[in-house]
Copies of this chain bind each other. A is one copy, B any other.
């Protein structure tokens, strides 16, 4: 072994195999655990190699919420009076996929998500079945169904009938993702999956016709792993890799807090070294929990030019991703006394200015006369009539900001809590097969989760639960494909 892990090793270079398995799964987060479970159930001998000391990955840090809908709706959606046609679900996912949505994956997921949800329940993932209306980020207790995207907001609502689609694991408080992973891990181990921890992937091994193994570093030793049916890359994205961010998504570096554990992009780079193509590498999710309280949604965001830039009633991450694009280092949420509230402390949004008039607020912010005051005047004029002709905020969130005192809350990528993770990665088929530079599958190479550019691939279209839904469902797909190959 040389000091260069990210090249493709040739089988001829391997003197002896230290471990033999059918399917090697790299990474034990949401995608890896689901892939391992399904591969084992398909009859394959499966070994998971996880660089950390245990399962989890970024999913273990999450709220354990899945974006599920279509097929008329889940039983939980239905119980609360919501139906959810596959067509509306598909339309929403397509719009949320940005300028280049993955139509094949979207079509499959839209059709199968409800079945997938029932599968999760069959694995033992508990759902209380309750519904929380309103605009929230995650349930504060152990409730299930929430609105967690831009479904009710323009332009999505104009094209797809909205439904709440966030299905959250029953868990008291934020952070149910850990429990979700624990359950799938337990099923995987029961199914006979072998798990090696502190086991870092260093390089894929090919034989000229495809991928047949992987070199693993564990306890200071390099282990040559023969994986007869192939390797599944599920090592997450690259939000913890500063160099990759600089070279591909430099804007993300302006944000404060990467959401990841290792997430150094090793799976993407190994896939590339094997000939795989990485796409939309500039895309990333970011958000700042600027609501709840939901009264703040009745405020308006302005940039350093005092201009609005979005309908504030869409998903918080869509607002924040758009905010990052604005010229300047900061945006402000303008509120009047009637809706004033403090965002949660985590958000680190400061009260930047208070005044008896909007002119006073703009002076306090050192902004030119007329910048903010004209924007608010314009907004108020239309809001009084229940209209937002420019940005199309829904009527229920419109009210003139005319009850003093007035305030501006600052939100900034560098000073507030801006969490982020990457959305670009390897291109795969719905089966999990990794595509090469020509779009042809590489035999024996599979990937899932944020190693892949999947359903969530556009920061402005992200919705909570989209990455977990994608990772779990397409992790299973990759596991089935590789596992079935083992049996042939």
- Interface residues, chain A, CB within 8 Å of chain B? 4, 6-7, 98-100, 243, 246-248, 250-251, 253, 269, 272-273, 275, 277, 279-282, 304-309, 325, 327, 367-371, 374, 377-378, 381-382, 387, 389-391, 427, 436-440
The minimal Cβ–Cβ distance linking A365 to chain B, given in whole angstroms, is: 12
> What residues of B have a CB within 8 angstroms of the CB of A247 in the complex?
100, 277, 279-280, 427
Task: Determine if B438 and A4 form an interchain contact, defined as CB atoms under 8 angstroms apart.
Answer: yes
**Copy total for this chain:** 2
The minimal Cβ–Cβ distance linking A459 to chain B, given in whole angstroms, is: 12
> What residues of B have a CB within 8 angstroms of the CB of A368 in the complex?
382, 387, 389-390
> What residues of B have a CB within 8 angstroms of the CB of A304 in the complex?
390
- A440→B243 CA distance, assembly (Å): 14
> Residue of B at shortest CB range from A277?
B247
Q: With contacts A248-B281, A282-B282 known, what are 8 further pairs, Cβ within 8 A?
A: A4-B438, A4-B440, A7-B436, A99-B251, A100-B246, A281-B282, A305-B391, A368-B382
> What residues of B have a CB within 8 angstroms of the CB of A277 in the complex?
247, 272
The minimal Cβ–Cβ distance linking A383 to chain B, given in whole angstroms, is: 12
> Residue of B at shortest CB range from A101?
B250
> What residues of B have a CB within 8 angstroms of the CB of A305 in the complex?
307-308, 390-391
- A281→B280 CA distance, assembly (Å): 8
The minimal Cβ–Cβ distance linking A283 to chain B, given in whole angstroms, is: 8
**Given known A100-B246, A371-B378, A382-B368, contact A7–B275 (CB-CB < 8 A):** yes
**Given known A7-B275, A275-B7, contact A378–B389 (CB-CB < 8 A):** no
Which are the 7 A-B pairs with shortest beta-carbon distances? A368-B389, A99-B250, A282-B282, A247-B279, A370-B378, A305-B390, A100-B250
- A83→B150 CA distance, assembly (Å): 54
- A100→B436 CA distance, assembly (Å): 27
**Given known A6-B437, A246-B100, A305-B307, contact A381–B390 (CB-CB < 8 A):** no
- A304→B392 CA distance, assembly (Å): 13
**Contact with A438, one of B6, B282, B389 (Cβ below 8 angstroms):** B6
> What residues of B have a CB within 8 angstroms of the CB of A100 in the complex?
246-247, 250
**Given known A275-B273, A305-B307, A307-B305, contact A250–B98 (CB-CB < 8 A):** yes
**Contact with A437, one of B269, B308, B437 (Cβ below 8 angstroms):** B269
> What residues of B have a CB within 8 angstroms of the CB of A436 in the complex?
6-7
Task: Determine if B389 and A273 form an interchain contact, defined as CB atoms under 8 angstroms apart.
Answer: no
> What residues of B have a CB within 8 angstroms of the CB of A439 in the complex?
243
- A389→B365 CA distance, assembly (Å): 13
Listed A/B pairs (28) with beta-carbon separation below 8 Å: A4-B438, A6-B436, A6-B437, A7-B436, A99-B253, A100-B247, A100-B250, A247-B277, A247-B279, A247-B280, A247-B427, A248-B279, A248-B280, A248-B281, A272-B272, A281-B282, A304-B390, A305-B307, A305-B391, A306-B390, A325-B325, A368-B390, A369-B381, A371-B378, A371-B389, A371-B390, A374-B377, A374-B378
- A470→B309 CA distance, assembly (Å): 36
- A307→B378 CA distance, assembly (Å): 12
> What residues of B have a CB within 8 angstroms of the CB of A282 in the complex?
280-282
> What residues of B have a CB within 8 angstroms of the CB of A98 in the complex?
250
> What residues of B have a CB within 8 angstroms of the CB of A6 in the complex?
436-438
The minimal Cβ–Cβ distance linking A47 to chain B, given in whole angstroms, is: 25
- A307→B304 CA distance, assembly (Å): 12
> Residue of B at shortest CB range from A306?
B390
> What residues of B have a CB within 8 angstroms of the CB of A269 in the complex?
437
> What residues of B have a CB within 8 angstroms of the CB of A279 in the complex?
247-248
> What residues of B have a CB within 8 angstroms of the CB of A381 in the complex?
369-370
